[in-house]
């Protein structure tokens, strides 16, 4: 995997991945900040796992979202000190056991982003199951 980050103007940078995808980041609030992108990456990476695990378990999943809340250190470097990820999952026939297991497996075994941060950031998770209605 390779990427290139190029300064555009002010504190705006454009990152281009070797896949061709681009992302704009900004330190002045004109685009997603680098720290916001890390937080979003935690939710996206882990949500991929949760959905994949539930689908492999043959569950009829129709929605998955991840609400993230992070705390940062007061002084520079303003690293994350804690992150809480709450998954909201809906579908038919989802069991507490299956959703809890998918969240736990993601956080403890599969989510590369969470696992990179785990020694320096207190990461907690929770979930809510919303039964799909016809």
Q: Domain limits of the chain?
A: 1-32, 34-131
* Confidence (pLDDT) at 131: 81
Q: At what angle do helices 34-56 and 96-105 cross, to 10 degrees?
A: 130
Is residue 22 a contact partner of residue 15, using CB atoms and an 8 Å limit?
yes
CA-to-CA separations, 78 to 73, 96, 117, 121, in angstroms, rounded = 5, 36, 14, 12
* Confidence (pLDDT) at 134: 59
Alpha-carbon gap, residue 104 to 126, rounded angstroms: 9
pLDDT in tens, 11-33: 999 999 999 999 999 999 999 99
Among the four given CATH numbers 3.50.50.60, 3.30.360.10, 3.40.30.10, 3.30.300.20, the one describing domain 34-131: 3.30.300.20
Q: Which two tokens stand for residue 93?
A: 């026939």
Q: Look up the CATH architecture of domain 1-32.
A: Single Sheet (2.20)
In angstroms, the first-to-last Cα distance of the chain is 43
Among residues 133, 131, 124, 134, the alpha carbon closest in space to that of 46 is found at: 124
How crowded is residue 77: how many other Cβ atoms within 10 Å of its Cβ? 6
Task: Taking residues 72-91, report their average pLDDT.
Answer: 97
């Amino acid at each position: 995997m390779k990427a290139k980050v190029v300064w555009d103007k002010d504190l705006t940078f454009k990152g281009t991945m070797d896949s061709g995808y681009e992302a704009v980041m900004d330190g002045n609030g004109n685009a997603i900040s680098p720290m916001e992108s890390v937080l979003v990456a935690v939710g996206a990476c882990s949500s991929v796992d949760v959905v994949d695990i539930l689908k492999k378990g043959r569950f009829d999943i129709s929605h998955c979202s991840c609400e993230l809340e992070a705390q940062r250190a007061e002084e520079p470097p303003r690293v994350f000190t804690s992150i809480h990820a709450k998954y909201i999952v809906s579908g038919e026939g989802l069991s507490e056991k299956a959703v809890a297991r998918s969240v736990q497996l993601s956080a403890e075994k599969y989510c590369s982003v969470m696992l990179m941060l785990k020694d320096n950031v207190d990461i907690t998770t929770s979930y809510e199951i919303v039964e799909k209605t016809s």
